[in-house]
Amino acid sequence: MQEIPEHTKEMGFLEHLEELRKHLVRSAIAVVFFAIVVFIYAPWIFDTIIFAPLRPDFFSYKALCKLSQLTKIKELCFQVTTHPLQALSASEQFFNHIWISIVIGIILASPFILFELWKFIRPALKDNEANPVKSFISISTFLFLIGILFGYFILFPMSYNFLINYQISEMGLVQTHNTLEDYISLISTMVLVSGLIFELPVLVFLLSKLGLITAQFMRKYRRHAVVLILIVAAVITPSPDVASQLIVALPIYVLYEISIFIAKAVQKH
C-alpha cells in the first residue's frame, strides 16, 4: 500500500492549532535569541546604530548635503547640532534597553518568522503553488528590511532634526530638552512604520488574490493615490519643505506603480 506523503495528510482543527503553536514558539525563540544578543552588545549598538543620527557626521547628513549641491535644493543640507538625551527616571535607560533589544530582535528574526509562516501554510498548498509562495515570503522580507533602512537613514533623520529644532516662539522662551524615552519611541516607531509601508506590494498581492482590487481600479484612481501619498508623506515627515516630503513620497509612489503590475500579473493567473 502506497504511503500518503506527510504534507498531503489532512489535519484536524486541534492539530492545526498545535502545529501553529510550534511555529510561533520557534519564532519567539528566534526573537528572544536575537534580543539577548542585542542586549549583551547594547553599548556598541546604541553608540553605533541607535544614537548615530544624533551626530553631525552621520552618513545620511553627508549624503543629503551632496544631493543638495547637485540639485541646488539648499533645504536638503541642514546643520545638525548634537542634543544630549535626558533620562528622567532611574528605570528609563533599563526599560528602553529592553525595548530596543526586542524591536531589533524582531527585525533580525523577521526572515525566520516568515520562513516559519511558509512552513505552516506549505502543507495546504499544491506543489505548483509552493514555489510562488516561497518567493512571496522572500520578497516580503526584502521589502520590509528595505523599508527599515529607508526609515532609519532617510525618514527619521529628517524628521528628528526638524522636530528638535522647531520653535513656536521667536524670543527663544521655549527650549527643547529631548528625553531618551521620546527619542527611542520616535526612532522605533518611524523605522517600523516605514518597514510596514514598504509592504504595499504585498498587501496589493493579497487583495488581488482575494479579488478585492484590480490593476484597472488602481490605474483609474492613480491621481487620487498620488494625493493620498503626498498627504502620508506630509504626515510622517514633519518638515514643511517640499524637497523632504518628495524624498519620502517618491519611493511610496514607485511601490504603488509596482503594485499595479503585481495586480495585473495576479489577474492573468
Q: Are residues 94 and 119 in the same domain?
A: yes
Q: How far apart are CA 177 and CA 164, in angstroms?
A: 8
164 and 64 part of one domain: yes
**The three three-digit cell numbers of residue 103, written as one number:** 524591536
HEC string for 115-175: HHHHHHHHHHCCHHHHHHHHHHHHHHHHHHHHHHHHHHHHHHHHHHHHHHCCCCCCCCCCC
Residue 88: phi, psi to the nearest 5?
-90, -5
Same structural domain for residues 162 and 65?
yes
For residue 35, pLDDT beyond 80: yes
Structural domain contains residue 235? yes
Residue 83 resides in a domain? no
Domain that holds residue 238: 199-269
Same domain, 41 and 145: yes
User: Do 266 and 178 share a structural domain?
Assistant: no
Cβ(151)–Cβ(194) below 8 Å = yes
Same domain (yes/no): 101, 234? no
Q: Which of 136, 155, 184 is the last residue of a domain?
A: 184
Do 40 and 141 belong together in one domain?
yes
Contact between residue 161 and residue 80 where contact means Cβ atoms under 8 Å apart: yes
Q: Which of 32-41, 83-92, 162-171, 198-207 has the lowest mean pLDDT?
A: 162-171
Do residues 268 and 137 share a domain? no
In a domain, 153, yes or no: yes
Rounded distance, CA 163 to CA 176, Å? 9
Q: 24 and 140 in one domain? A: yes
- Assigned domain for 5 exists: no
Cα 171 to its chain centre, rounded Å, is: 38
Q: Do 206 and 179 belong to one domain?
A: no
pLDDT band, residue 3 (cuts 50/70/90): very low
Dihedral of CA 229/246/161/49: which sign? Answer: positive
Nearest to 143, CA basis, from 84, 204, 100, 62: 204
Residue 22 to residues 10, 112, 134, 137, 244: CA-CA distances in angstroms?
A: 18, 14, 20, 19, 45
The answer to the question of residue 102 being in a domain is: yes
Predicted model pTM: 0.83
**Contacts of residue 252, Cβ cutoff 8 Å, sequence gap at least 6:** 197, 200, 229, 232, 233
pLDDT at 83 over 60: yes
Do the domain assignments include residue 190? Answer: no
Contact predicate 187/160, CB 8 Å: yes
Output the pLDDT for position 131.
66
**Helix, strand, coil percentages in the chain from 3-state DSSP, rounded to 5:** 75, 0, 25
Same domain for 43 and 166? Answer: yes
**Domain final residue pick, 125, 152, 184:** 184
Q: Are residues 235 and 103 in the same domain?
A: no
> What's the total number of domains in the chain?
2
In a domain, 193, yes or no: no
Q: Is residue 149 part of a domain?
A: yes
Per-residue pLDDT reduced to its tens digit, 137-167: 788 889 999 999 999 999 999 888 888 888 8
